[in-house]
């Protein structure tokens, strides 16, 4: 038994918007057997652009029941039935969220009539509800209203049931088929062929334009996580609707994937990569002078326009680096922002701090050692190669750093031994260092793992 559903909402994704209208058609696999419809009071005003699309106004829903008031009725109508909708994940996410807010746990098997139509009736110009209905000779009595769209979806479903000679519906209902989690316009074959390897992946729209770039240790697992809702932002319907194809580039290691992702976001400027476009969680080491004249350090999030001494991809990496400087130059951990204590720091009590935190050491003496620590942070870094796994068993990857700056990455045959900087340069694809790449490399080099580090003579890279 099936429940064919359509909803109207105050906006595009379930975490921030509410249902304004719902229609449910019962279907026995052959024909419609029952029907339910109601407006829903979302508890907020309806945006003008939504009213322009649906015709539903705030005044129309003022006296309608809240979802909580009809939740039990809707649950009864959906109970033990396969959930069917056009772009099923959109409707399903909203209804599940509404049930959660009403204190009800609900889940159901899903069928998406967009995906089914692509398989059972291939080759149509478009599979949007309006275009599909027109292609099949189905009239929608009230477009962009739950009742009219649900009725049209039910008629489409009847036709699909009758034409499904290859068992696509039965296959989609299998527990592990994966059909119901995929975006409606993404060919299943493209998802099936994704590799379980490290790399960067690209979501493309209908015109072939990249709309999102991501990185992963396991590309297939990461993308499946997007579509199954493990990441909240992927319940947003807009990006699901826009994904028509997925491409990828293998990188061998997660470190290269992080670097390439940053480069590609800067190059392509995809519309859904909000994080690196506008805000990246970077941590930096900063210096300042307090009222007593002591030069001090702090670890803080890097904000727009700030100029840290060093950048890191995590607070832990920044703290660990600063602890090394504190120990190397006998600095006070309290004045370096690494300890919060009343009175002297813990290092003074153990004899490892000379007493700047309690005024026993003058700012002039203390600041001389701070100056040396600052000089060490500003010195050009090492020239080195980071050698890691390749894209396959016969290959190795290389990241080249010159005087502390990233200059490129690439791949070479596993039977080759790299002896000097000039030779290493022949294997890389040159790139530009960004603040994100700088922080990623600083964090990695602080605690390198699963990689071989080759240090080159600075003269060679001069």
For residue 280, what pLDDT is reported? 58
Structure tokens at 46: 């309806």
Under DSSP, is residue 86 helix (H, G, I), strand (E, B) or coil?
Answer: coil
- Among candidates 91, 23, 20, which has minimal Cα distance to 56? 20
Mention every residue, 6+ apart, whose C-beta is less than 8 A from residue 408. 399, 400, 425, 428, 429, 430, 431
0.85 exceeded by pTM: no
Cα 123 to Cα 129: distance, rounded to the nearest angstrom = 15
From the candidates 16, 26, 86, 144, which is the catalytic residue? 144
For residue 5, what pLDDT is reported? 97
Cα 183 to Cα 197: distance, rounded to the nearest angstrom = 22
User: CB count, 10 Å around CB of 110?
Assistant: 20
- Sequence-distant contacts of 263-271: CB under 8 A, at least 24 apart: 263/431, 263/432, 263/434, 263/437, 264/200, 264/202, 264/210, 264/213, 265/213, 266/434, 268/210, 268/213, 270/203, 270/210, 270/211, 270/212, 270/213, 271/211, 271/212
For residue 275, what pLDDT is reported? 57
Residue 180: DSSP 8-state: G
Mention every residue, 6+ apart, whose C-beta is less than 8 A from residue 141. 147, 148, 151
The partner residues of 401 in beta bridges, in order of sequence, read 384, 406
Over its length of 462 residues, how does the chain's per-residue pLDDT go in tens digits? 999 999 999 987 787 889 999 999 999 999 999 999 999 999 999 988 899 989 999 999 999 999 999 999 999 999 999 999 998 988 998 999 999 999 999 989 999 999 999 999 998 888 899 999 999 999 998 888 999 999 999 999 999 999 999 999 988 887 555 566 788 889 888 998 999 999 999 999 989 999 999 999 999 999 988 887 544 455 455 788 889 999 999 999 999 999 999 999 989 999 888 755 445 578 899 999 999 999 999 999 888 778 899 888 888 888 988 999 999 999 999 999 998 877 888 888 777 889 999 889 999 999 999 999 998 888 777 899 999 999 999 999 999 999 889 999 999 998 899 988 999 999 999 998 888 888 889 888 877 877 899 998 754 433
For residue 229, what pLDDT is reported? 54
Maximal C-alpha separation, the chain: 89
Domains along the chain with CATH numbers? 2-180 (3.30.420.10), 188-277 (3.40.1440.10), 283-378 (no CATH), 384-455 (no CATH)
Cα 90 to Cα 14: distance, rounded to the nearest angstrom = 8
User: Any catalytic annotation for residue 168?
Assistant: no
Under DSSP, is residue 166 helix (H, G, I), strand (E, B) or coil?
Answer: coil
End-to-end CA distance of the chain: 73
């Amino acid at each position: 038994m099936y429940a064919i559903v359509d909803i109207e909402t105050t906006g595009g994704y379930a975490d921030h918007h509410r249902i304004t209208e719902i229609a449910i058609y019962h279907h026995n696999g052959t024909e419609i057997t029952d029907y339910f419809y109601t407006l829903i009071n979302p508890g907020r005003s309806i945006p003008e652009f939504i009213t322009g699309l649906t015709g539903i106004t705030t005044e129309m829903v003022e006296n309608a029941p809240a979802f909580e008031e009809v939740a039990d009725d809707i649950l009864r109508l959906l109970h033990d039935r396969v959930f069917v909708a056009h772009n099923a994940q959109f409707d399903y996410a909203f209804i599940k969220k509404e049930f959660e807010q009403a204190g009800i746990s609900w889940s159901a098997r899903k069928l998406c009539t967009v995906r089914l139509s692509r398989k059972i009736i291939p080759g149509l110009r478009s599979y949007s509800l309006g275009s599909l209905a027109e292609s099949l000779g189905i009239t929608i009595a009230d477009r962009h209203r739950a009742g009219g769209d649900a009725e049209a979806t039910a008629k489409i479903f009847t036709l699909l049931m009758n034409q499904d000679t290859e068992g696509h519906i039965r296959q989609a209902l299998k527990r592990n088929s994966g059909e119901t989690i995929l975006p409606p316009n993404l060919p299943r074959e493209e998802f099936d062929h994704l590799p379980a390897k490290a790399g960067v992946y690209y979501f493309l729209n209908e015109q072939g334009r990249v709309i999102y770039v991501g990185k992963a240790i396991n590309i297939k697992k990461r993308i499946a996580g997007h579509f199954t809702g493990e990441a909240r932002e992927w319940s947003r319907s807009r990006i699901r609707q826009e994904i028509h194809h997925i491409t990828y580039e293998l990188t061998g290691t997660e470190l290269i994937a992080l670097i390439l992702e940053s480069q590609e976001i800067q190059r392509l400027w995809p519309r859904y990569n909000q994080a690196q476009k506008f805000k990246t969680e970077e941590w930096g080491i900063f210096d300042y002078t307090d009222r007593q004249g002591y030069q001090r350090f702090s670890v803080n999030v890097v904000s727009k326009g700030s100029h840290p001494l060093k950048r890191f991809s995590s607070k832990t990496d920044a703290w660990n680096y600063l602890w090394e400087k504190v120990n190397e130059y006998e600095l006070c951990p309290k004045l370096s922002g690494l300890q919060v204590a009343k009175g002297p720091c813990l290092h003074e009590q153990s004899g490892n701090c000379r007493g700047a935190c309690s005024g026993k050491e003058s700012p002039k003496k203390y600041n001389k050692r701070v100056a040396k620590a600052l000089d060490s942070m500003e010195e050009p870094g090492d020239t080195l190669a980071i050698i890691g796994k390749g894209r396959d068993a016969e290959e190795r990857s290389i990241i080249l750093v010159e005087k502390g700056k990233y200059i490129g990455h690439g791949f070479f045959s596993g039977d080759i031994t790299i002896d000097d900087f000039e030779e290493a340069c022949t294997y890389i694809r040159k790139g530009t260092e960004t603040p994100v790449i700088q922080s990623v490399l600083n964090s990695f080099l602080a605690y390198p793992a699963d990689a071989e580090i080759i240090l080159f003579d600075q003269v060679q890279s001069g």
